[in-house]
Amino acid sequence: MKIALGVEYLGTNFNGWQIQKSGIRTVQEVVESALSLVANHPVRVFCCGRTDSGVHAKEQVIHFETDSNRSDEAWVFGGNVNLPSDVNFTWAKEVNDDFHARFNAYARSYEYKIHNHPVRSSLKANYYLWEPRSLNIDEMRKAANFLIGEHDFSCFRGRLCQAKSPVKTVEYLDIIESDDNLIVKIKANAFLHHMVRNIVGTLLKIGRGEKDAEWMLSVLESKDRREAGPTAEPQGLYFIKAYYPKPLN
Protein backbone atom coordinates (compact mmCIF):
# COMPACT_ATOMS: atom_id res chain seq x y z
CA MET A 1 0.00 0.00 0.00
CA LYS A 2 1.01 3.64 -0.37
CA ILE A 3 0.80 6.09 2.54
CA ALA A 4 0.86 9.90 2.41
CA LEU A 5 1.73 12.02 5.45
CA GLY A 6 1.87 15.67 6.43
CA VAL A 7 5.18 16.73 7.97
CA GLU A 8 5.82 19.87 10.03
CA TYR A 9 9.36 20.91 10.89
CA LEU A 10 11.63 23.72 12.03
CA GLY A 11 14.55 23.78 9.65
CA THR A 12 16.98 25.63 11.91
CA ASN A 13 19.05 22.59 12.89
CA PHE A 14 18.60 20.62 9.67
CA ASN A 15 20.81 20.65 6.59
CA GLY A 16 17.75 20.83 4.39
CA TRP A 17 15.27 18.14 3.42
CA GLN A 18 17.24 15.82 1.14
CA ILE A 19 19.20 12.95 2.64
CA GLN A 20 22.97 13.36 2.34
CA LYS A 21 26.11 11.52 3.37
CA SER A 22 26.27 9.89 6.76
CA GLY A 23 26.51 12.30 9.67
CA ILE A 24 24.66 15.15 7.95
CA ARG A 25 21.36 15.83 9.73
CA THR A 26 18.46 16.17 7.28
CA VAL A 27 14.68 16.01 7.60
CA GLN A 28 14.42 13.10 5.19
CA GLU A 29 16.93 11.08 7.19
CA VAL A 30 15.10 11.39 10.51
CA VAL A 31 11.67 10.89 8.89
CA GLU A 32 12.76 7.70 7.16
CA SER A 33 14.35 6.42 10.35
CA ALA A 34 11.15 6.98 12.35
CA LEU A 35 8.85 5.41 9.75
CA SER A 36 11.16 2.43 9.33
CA LEU A 37 10.73 1.63 13.01
CA VAL A 38 6.94 1.76 12.73
CA ALA A 39 6.88 -0.26 9.50
CA ASN A 40 9.50 -2.73 10.74
CA HIS A 41 11.32 -2.46 7.40
CA PRO A 42 13.46 0.20 5.64
CA VAL A 43 11.34 3.05 4.28
CA ARG A 44 12.20 5.53 1.50
CA VAL A 45 10.02 8.64 1.28
CA PHE A 46 9.31 11.09 -1.54
CA CYS A 47 8.36 14.71 -0.81
CA CYS A 48 6.36 17.41 -2.54
CA GLY A 49 9.15 19.97 -2.48
CA ARG A 50 12.66 19.84 -1.09
CA THR A 51 13.66 22.65 1.27
CA ASP A 52 17.10 24.13 1.93
CA SER A 53 19.02 24.37 5.20
CA GLY A 54 17.22 26.60 7.68
CA VAL A 55 13.90 26.56 5.82
CA HIS A 56 10.76 25.45 7.70
CA ALA A 57 7.58 23.62 6.71
CA LYS A 58 4.04 23.80 8.03
CA GLU A 59 2.76 20.93 5.89
CA GLN A 60 5.31 19.18 3.76
CA VAL A 61 3.66 16.23 1.99
CA ILE A 62 5.44 12.90 1.60
CA HIS A 63 4.56 9.41 0.49
CA PHE A 64 6.08 5.95 0.86
CA GLU A 65 5.23 2.33 0.07
CA THR A 66 4.86 -0.44 2.64
CA ASP A 67 3.55 -3.97 3.14
CA SER A 68 2.93 -3.27 6.83
CA ASN A 69 -0.70 -2.90 7.87
CA ARG A 70 -0.95 0.06 10.27
CA SER A 71 -3.75 2.50 11.07
CA ASP A 72 -3.41 6.17 10.12
CA GLU A 73 -3.05 6.99 13.81
CA ALA A 74 -0.26 4.45 14.21
CA TRP A 75 1.79 6.07 11.44
CA VAL A 76 1.32 9.51 13.01
CA PHE A 77 1.73 8.76 16.71
CA GLY A 78 4.12 5.86 16.29
CA GLY A 79 6.27 7.97 13.99
CA ASN A 80 6.22 10.99 16.30
CA VAL A 81 7.45 8.90 19.23
CA ASN A 82 10.60 8.23 17.22
CA LEU A 83 11.09 11.75 15.86
CA PRO A 84 13.09 14.62 17.42
CA SER A 85 11.11 17.58 18.75
CA ASP A 86 11.78 19.82 15.73
CA VAL A 87 9.87 17.57 13.29
CA ASN A 88 6.55 15.72 13.52
CA PHE A 89 3.80 14.10 11.48
CA THR A 90 0.44 15.88 11.51
CA TRP A 91 -1.72 13.38 9.56
CA ALA A 92 -1.50 10.15 7.56
CA LYS A 93 -3.71 8.68 4.86
CA GLU A 94 -3.66 5.66 2.57
CA VAL A 95 -3.64 6.82 -1.05
CA ASN A 96 -4.02 5.22 -4.49
CA ASP A 97 -1.07 3.44 -6.02
CA ASP A 98 -0.70 6.15 -8.68
CA PHE A 99 -0.35 8.96 -6.13
CA HIS A 100 2.94 10.86 -6.05
CA ALA A 101 3.58 13.63 -3.51
CA ARG A 102 5.56 15.70 -6.00
CA PHE A 103 4.09 14.99 -9.42
CA ASN A 104 0.41 15.04 -8.41
CA ALA A 105 0.62 18.46 -6.78
CA TYR A 106 -0.78 21.15 -9.07
CA ALA A 107 0.26 24.09 -6.86
CA ARG A 108 2.27 25.01 -3.79
CA SER A 109 2.30 27.94 -1.39
CA TYR A 110 5.02 29.54 0.71
CA GLU A 111 5.29 32.31 3.27
CA TYR A 112 8.29 34.47 4.01
CA LYS A 113 8.36 36.23 7.41
CA ILE A 114 10.17 39.51 8.04
CA HIS A 115 10.70 41.21 11.41
CA ASN A 116 10.75 44.90 10.44
CA HIS A 117 11.97 46.69 13.55
CA PRO A 118 15.07 48.78 14.42
CA VAL A 119 15.95 46.36 17.25
CA ARG A 120 16.58 42.71 16.58
CA SER A 121 14.59 40.00 18.38
CA SER A 122 16.32 37.00 19.92
CA LEU A 123 13.00 35.13 19.97
CA LYS A 124 12.51 35.60 16.22
CA ALA A 125 16.11 35.14 15.08
CA ASN A 126 15.64 31.61 13.72
CA TYR A 127 12.15 32.19 12.31
CA TYR A 128 12.19 35.63 10.66
CA LEU A 129 14.48 37.74 8.54
CA TRP A 130 15.40 40.84 10.54
CA GLU A 131 15.09 44.05 8.52
CA PRO A 132 15.92 47.12 10.68
CA ARG A 133 15.26 49.74 7.98
CA SER A 134 11.88 51.32 7.31
CA LEU A 135 10.10 49.75 4.33
CA ASN A 136 7.69 51.27 1.83
CA ILE A 137 5.08 48.51 1.80
CA ASP A 138 2.93 50.17 -0.87
CA GLU A 139 5.84 50.17 -3.32
CA MET A 140 6.59 46.53 -2.50
CA ARG A 141 2.97 45.58 -3.19
CA LYS A 142 2.97 47.50 -6.44
CA ALA A 143 6.13 45.65 -7.51
CA ALA A 144 4.71 42.29 -6.44
CA ASN A 145 1.74 42.74 -8.78
CA PHE A 146 4.09 42.59 -11.78
CA LEU A 147 4.87 38.96 -10.89
CA ILE A 148 1.29 37.65 -10.84
CA GLY A 149 0.40 35.43 -13.78
CA GLU A 150 2.50 33.31 -16.13
CA HIS A 151 6.06 34.53 -16.66
CA ASP A 152 9.58 33.37 -17.38
CA PHE A 153 11.13 33.64 -13.90
CA SER A 154 14.74 33.06 -14.97
CA CYS A 155 15.78 36.23 -13.12
CA PHE A 156 14.85 34.54 -9.83
CA ARG A 157 16.28 31.12 -10.67
CA GLY A 158 18.98 29.71 -8.40
CA ARG A 159 22.23 28.49 -9.90
CA LEU A 160 21.57 24.86 -8.93
CA CYS A 161 17.99 24.78 -10.22
CA GLN A 162 17.10 21.59 -12.12
CA ALA A 163 13.63 22.62 -13.34
CA LYS A 164 13.00 21.89 -17.01
CA SER A 165 11.36 25.26 -17.63
CA PRO A 166 11.63 28.68 -15.94
CA VAL A 167 8.03 29.49 -16.91
CA LYS A 168 5.73 29.37 -13.87
CA THR A 169 2.33 30.79 -12.99
CA VAL A 170 1.94 32.83 -9.79
CA GLU A 171 -1.64 32.85 -8.53
CA TYR A 172 -1.12 35.42 -5.81
CA LEU A 173 1.68 37.37 -4.14
CA ASP A 174 0.47 39.26 -1.07
CA ILE A 175 2.30 41.25 1.59
CA ILE A 176 0.56 41.26 4.97
CA GLU A 177 1.43 43.70 7.77
CA SER A 178 0.99 42.77 11.43
CA ASP A 179 2.56 45.04 14.04
CA ASP A 180 6.27 45.00 13.26
CA ASN A 181 6.07 41.88 11.10
CA LEU A 182 5.58 41.38 7.37
CA ILE A 183 4.49 38.14 5.75
CA VAL A 184 5.03 37.64 2.03
CA LYS A 185 2.51 35.04 0.84
CA ILE A 186 2.90 33.41 -2.56
CA LYS A 187 1.17 30.58 -4.40
CA ALA A 188 2.18 29.18 -7.79
CA ASN A 189 1.85 26.05 -9.85
CA ALA A 190 5.54 25.33 -9.19
CA PHE A 191 8.68 27.12 -8.02
CA LEU A 192 12.27 27.37 -9.18
CA HIS A 193 15.13 26.79 -6.76
CA HIS A 194 15.50 29.89 -4.52
CA MET A 195 12.67 31.61 -6.41
CA VAL A 196 10.82 32.83 -3.32
CA ARG A 197 13.94 33.99 -1.51
CA ASN A 198 15.17 35.81 -4.63
CA ILE A 199 11.81 37.53 -5.05
CA VAL A 200 11.89 38.64 -1.41
CA GLY A 201 15.44 39.95 -1.79
CA THR A 202 14.30 41.99 -4.79
CA LEU A 203 11.19 43.30 -3.02
CA LEU A 204 13.34 44.43 -0.09
CA LYS A 205 15.51 46.59 -2.34
CA ILE A 206 12.33 48.30 -3.49
CA GLY A 207 10.96 48.61 0.04
CA ARG A 208 14.18 50.29 1.21
CA GLY A 209 13.92 52.86 -1.58
CA GLU A 210 16.98 51.61 -3.44
CA LYS A 211 14.82 50.93 -6.51
CA ASP A 212 11.31 51.91 -7.57
CA ALA A 213 8.44 49.47 -8.11
CA GLU A 214 8.78 49.58 -11.92
CA TRP A 215 12.29 48.17 -11.59
CA MET A 216 10.67 44.82 -10.81
CA LEU A 217 9.22 44.73 -14.32
CA SER A 218 12.59 45.41 -15.93
CA VAL A 219 14.17 42.67 -13.77
CA LEU A 220 11.50 40.21 -14.86
CA GLU A 221 11.89 41.10 -18.53
CA SER A 222 15.70 40.76 -18.33
CA LYS A 223 15.50 37.01 -17.53
CA ASP A 224 18.91 37.53 -15.92
CA ARG A 225 19.55 36.49 -12.30
CA ARG A 226 22.27 39.15 -12.02
CA GLU A 227 19.68 41.90 -12.46
CA ALA A 228 17.58 40.91 -9.43
CA GLY A 229 18.17 41.46 -5.73
CA PRO A 230 20.17 39.17 -3.42
CA THR A 231 18.86 35.87 -2.09
CA ALA A 232 17.04 36.48 1.19
CA GLU A 233 18.21 34.44 4.18
CA PRO A 234 16.59 31.00 4.65
CA GLN A 235 15.18 31.29 8.18
CA GLY A 236 12.21 33.42 7.11
CA LEU A 237 10.91 30.91 4.55
CA TYR A 238 8.12 28.41 5.25
CA PHE A 239 6.69 25.74 2.95
CA ILE A 240 2.98 26.10 3.72
CA LYS A 241 0.92 23.75 1.60
CA ALA A 242 0.76 21.53 -1.47
CA TYR A 243 -2.48 21.37 -3.46
CA TYR A 244 -3.87 18.17 -5.01
CA PRO A 245 -6.91 17.40 -7.18
CA LYS A 246 -8.39 15.51 -4.21
CA PRO A 247 -7.63 16.97 -0.73
CA LEU A 248 -5.55 14.65 1.44
CA ASN A 249 -6.81 15.82 4.83
Catalytic (active-site) positions? 52
DSSP assignment of the chain: -EEEEEEEE--TTSS-SS--STT---HHHHHHHHHHHHHTS----EESS---TT-EEEEEEEEEE-S----HHIIIIIHHHTS-TTEEEEEEEEE-TT--TTTT--EEEEEEEEEESSS--TTTTTTSEEE-S---HHHHHHHHHTTSEEEE-GGG--TT---S-SEEEEEEEEEEEETTEEEEEEEES---TTHHHHHHHHHHHHHTTSS-TTHHHHHHHHT-GGGS-PPPPGGGEEEEEEE-SS---
